């Protein structure tokens, strides 16, 4: 029994791989599927293409599409979110101590104007001698807590 691959076998195989990408979001099955669709299209245009040439062409196109993805397209999709930019917005700001931290605890400071949507923030201090009303400067951010020092 001789297995003869026809163009629509490749197209169906390619579409199945592309649909598989919905379940496995790795962008690998997508390129293997796209290569299979290209082989199916070429087989439609060149019906005398042998089975060996079809498989070699599919393998080569799959490798090339995947390489092109990682080399050129993926670097253009750099994370453009604003995550982490809030640190730059708050470091250096000066506020006033409302609640003094006790021991290893956290205190609360207030800024004259809201920063990043809030005017009161929890803080930990690098200085031990803080009292209510002292002016403090933000030097770092640790999670949702500000790290401060006394402002001269």
Model pLDDT for residues 97-152, shown as the tens digit of each residue: 999 988 777 899 999 988 888 889 999 988 778 888 899 999 998 888 899 998 87
- Position 1 scores a pLDDT of 54
What pLDDT, in 10s, does the model give residues 9-53? Answer: 999 999 999 999 989 877 789 999 999 999 999 999 999 999 999
Question: Same domain for 91 and 59?
Answer: no
- Position 85 scores a pLDDT of 56
- Position 20 scores a pLDDT of 93
Give the separation between CA 19 and CA 118, rounded to whole angstroms: 45
Does residue 1 fall inside a structural domain?
Answer: no
What pLDDT, in 10s, does the model give residues 53-81? Answer: 999 999 999 999 999 988 887 777 665 54
For residue 92, give the CATH number of its domain.
Answer: 2.40.50.140
Question: Same domain for 11 and 70?
Answer: yes
Tell me the sheet residues that pair with 43: none
**Domain final residue, candidates 34, 52, 76:** 76
**Domain final residue, candidates 76, 108, 124:** 76
Range of the domain at 92: 85-150
Question: Same domain for 72 and 89?
Answer: no
Q: How confident is the model at residue 84 (pLDDT cuts 50, 70, 90)?
A: low
- Position 144 scores a pLDDT of 84
Number of domains the chain is built from: 2
């Amino acid at each position: 029994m001789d297995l003869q691959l026809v163009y629509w076998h490749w197209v169906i195989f390619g579409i199945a791989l592309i649909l598989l990408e919905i379940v496995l979001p790795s962008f690998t099955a997508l390129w293997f599927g796209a290569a299979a669709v290209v082989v199916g299209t070429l087989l439609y245009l060149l019906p005398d293409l042998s089975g060996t040439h079809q498989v070699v062409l599919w393998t080569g196109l799959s490798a090339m599409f995947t390489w092109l993805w990682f080399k050129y397209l993926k670097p253009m999709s750099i994370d453009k979110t604003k995550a982490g930019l809030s640190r730059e917005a708050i470091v250096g700001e000066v506020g006033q101590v409302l609640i003094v931290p006790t021991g290893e605890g956290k205190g609360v400071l207030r800024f004259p104007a809201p920063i990043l949507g809030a005017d009161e923030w929890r803080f930990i201090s690098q200085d031990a001698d803080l009292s209510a009303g002292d002016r403090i400067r933000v030097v770092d951010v640790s999670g949702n807590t500000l790290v401060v020092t006394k402002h001269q």
